[in-house]
């Protein structure tokens, strides 16, 4: 009975969050943040009931399977919308600024790993997940966590830490960043950020009032599911060919799914018919919320005490470090404060947060370049993070 209620909650709570996206908590923390908070509340209630002697536990299988399936469907749906061809329209200044962000993230994450995270449990994985997170976004972090077989509690704490640090740093971006960078970086005289006109849209804008179920959209969801199944079959094939033990199947299955859905999701984005299907962002976001709630509700509070502070420090130091190094490189390359801020936002937060920043700094010319670089980050973040994790672990 508990497993059935848990399953219903995993799929119904995200719908409620999307339908009430103007609710004060959702406005403050975003839809993903609200999903995590709802899941954490469930996990906390279960924990407290057990502390007071009432034996109650949620099904770990429901949480694991629900999170695996949701993220496997969400990633291709989100990547399908990424118009990566538009990257060729970016000016040299924007490309250099985005490369600066990538270099800054790799450099800072590596230094922090060597001097701090190397002694932590899952230090290599968490440091590499930060690279995926700060070049692309939350989906990259979660995909990397699943690829490298981290448990739901560790992935959940990483997300919670990022959410808390990200909320504080975003206020800094909105209020203090531009005045600070204006004193350090050169004034932008050349505001040509695109070599030619681009019609790219903010695919992370949910536009719920205009959302409609359609036959093409249904086909894309089925396609995403089929891609996840293909990834699982690839995992089974690899497991069979390597003649591994039965208990090693899941170790091959999940990484194969994550890599397959990412690669084929990117491939699908180059098909105009797939890319321009309306509503994929809403459905993709829904499955991200399913994943987020399932993950957070399975948090083990008895383990959080040891992990939370160390992961919070890790991601806090990396966030501040990336900002500092990105600014130093921008100074050397003579890139202005606006472009530096927007590429930083696109990497650290993803495309969804770019329009608010460009509006705040009164530079709408950077909205489209920010959306493009954010999409590029989605596409490369998982691979970049995985490469660095392998290097860290070696």
Q: How many domains is the chain built from? A: 1
- CA separation for the pair 39, 57 (Å, rounded): 14
4 has pLDDT over 70: yes
Whether 198 is in a domain gets the answer no
Which residues partner with 194 through β-bridges? 90
Buried residues in 203-221 as b, exposed as e (16+ CB within 10 A): bbebeeeeeeeeeebeebb
Residue range 132-154: mean pLDDT, rounded: 89
Tell me if 206 is assigned to some domain.
no
Give dist(CA 388, CA 124) in Å, integer: 8
State the DSSP string of 285-331.
HHHHHHHHHHHHHT--HHHHHHHHHHHHHHHHHHHHHHHHHHHHHHH
The string of pLDDT tens digits covering residues 298-340 is 877 777 767 889 999 999 999 999 999 999 999 999 999 999 9
* Residue 283, token pair as written in the block: 């459905």
Per-residue model confidence (pLDDT) at position 65: 74
Instruction: Inform me whether the pLDDT recorded for 166 exceeds 80.
Output: yes
Rg (CA), the chain: 20
Listed as own residue / partner, the contacts of 171-175 with beta carbons closer than 8 Å and 24 or more positions apart are 173/341, 173/344, 173/345, 173/357, 173/360, 174/356, 174/357, 174/360
Per-residue pLDDT tens digits for 363-375? 888 988 998 998 8
Q: Which residue has the higher pLDDT, 7 or 34?
A: 34
The answer to whether 69 touches 13, Cβ cutoff 8 Å, is: no
Residue pLDDT, tens place only, 48-87: 887 777 776 666 667 677 777 888 999 999 889 887 888 8
According to the model, what pLDDT value does residue 213 have? 80
76 part of a folded domain: yes
Tell which wins on pLDDT, 3 or 117: 117
Which residues constitute the domain of residue 347?
2-187+211-393
Instruction: Tell me the two tokens of residue 248.
Output: 């090693």
The answer to whether position 136 is within a domain reads yes
Confidence at residue 381, expressed as pLDDT on a 0 to 100 scale: 92
Q: Most distant CA pair in the chain: distance in Å?
A: 67
Q: Is it the case that residue 120 has pLDDT exceeding 60?
A: yes
- Quick one: pLDDT band at residue 345, thresholds 50, 70, 90? very high
Asked if the structure places residue 205 within a domain, the reply is no
Q: Are 220 and 77 in contact (CB under 8 A)?
A: yes
Partners of 54 in the beta sheet?
A: none
What is each CA distance from 154 to 142, 151, 161, 310, 386, in whole angstroms? Answer: 11, 6, 11, 11, 17
Q: Report the chain's mean pLDDT, rounded to a whole number.
A: 87
Q: Specify the residue for token string 């050169």.
A: 186
pLDDT for 292 beyond 90: no
- CA-CA-CA-CA torsion sign (385, 387, 388, 393): positive
Evaluate whether residue 30 is within a structural domain: yes
Residue 204 lies in a domain: no
Task: Answer whether residue 348 is part of any domain.
Answer: yes
């Amino acid at each position: 009975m508990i497993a059935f209620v848990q399953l219903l909650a995993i799929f119904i709570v995200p719908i409620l969050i999307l339908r009430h996206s103007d609710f004060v908590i959702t406005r403050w923390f975003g839809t993903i943040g609200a999903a995590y908070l709802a899941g954490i509340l469930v996990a906390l209630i279960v924990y407290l009931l057990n502390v007071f002697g009432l034996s109650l536990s949620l099904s770990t299988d429901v949480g694991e399977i629900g999170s695996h399936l949701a993220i496997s469907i969400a990633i291709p749906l989100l990547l399908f919308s990424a118009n990566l061809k538009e990257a060729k329209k970016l000016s040299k200044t924007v490309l250099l600024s985005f490369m600066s962000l990538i270099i800054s993230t790799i450099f800072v994450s590596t230094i922090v790993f060597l001097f701090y995270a190397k002694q932590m449990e899952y230090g290599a994985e968490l440091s590499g997940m930060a690279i995926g997170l700060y070049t692309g976004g939350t989906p990259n972090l979660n995909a990397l966590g699943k690829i490298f077989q981290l448990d739901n509690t560790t992935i959940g704490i990483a997300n919670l830490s990022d959410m808390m640090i990200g909320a504080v740093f975003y206020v800094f971006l909105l209020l203090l960043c531009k005045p600070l960078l204006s004193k350090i970086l050169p004034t932008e005289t050349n505001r040509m950020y695109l070599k030619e006109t681009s019609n790219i849209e903010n695919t992370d804008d949910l536009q719920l009032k205009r959302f409609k179920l359609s036959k093409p959209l249904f086909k894309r969801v089925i396609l995403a599911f089929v891609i996840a199944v293909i990834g699982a079959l690839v995992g089974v094939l690899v497991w069979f060919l390597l003649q591994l033990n039965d208990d090693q199947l899941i170790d091959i299955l999940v990484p194969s799914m994550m890599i397959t859905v990412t690669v084929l999701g990117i491939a699908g984005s180059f098909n105009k018919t797939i890319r321009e299907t309306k509503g994929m962002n809403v459905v993709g976001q829904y499955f991200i919320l399913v994943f987020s709630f399932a993950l957070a509700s399975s948090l083990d509070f008895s383990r959080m005490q040891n992990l939370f502070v160390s992961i919070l420090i890790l991601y806090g130091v990396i966030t501040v470090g990336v900002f500092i190094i990105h600014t130093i490189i921008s100074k050397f390359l003579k890139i202005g404060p606006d472009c530096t801020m927007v590429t930083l936002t696109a990497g650290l937060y993803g495309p969804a947060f770019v329009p608010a920043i460009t509006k705040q700094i009164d530079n709408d010319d950077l909205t489209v370049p920010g959306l493009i670089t954010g999409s590029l980050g989605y596409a490369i973040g998982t691979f970049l993070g995985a490469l660095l994790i392998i290097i860290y672990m070696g």
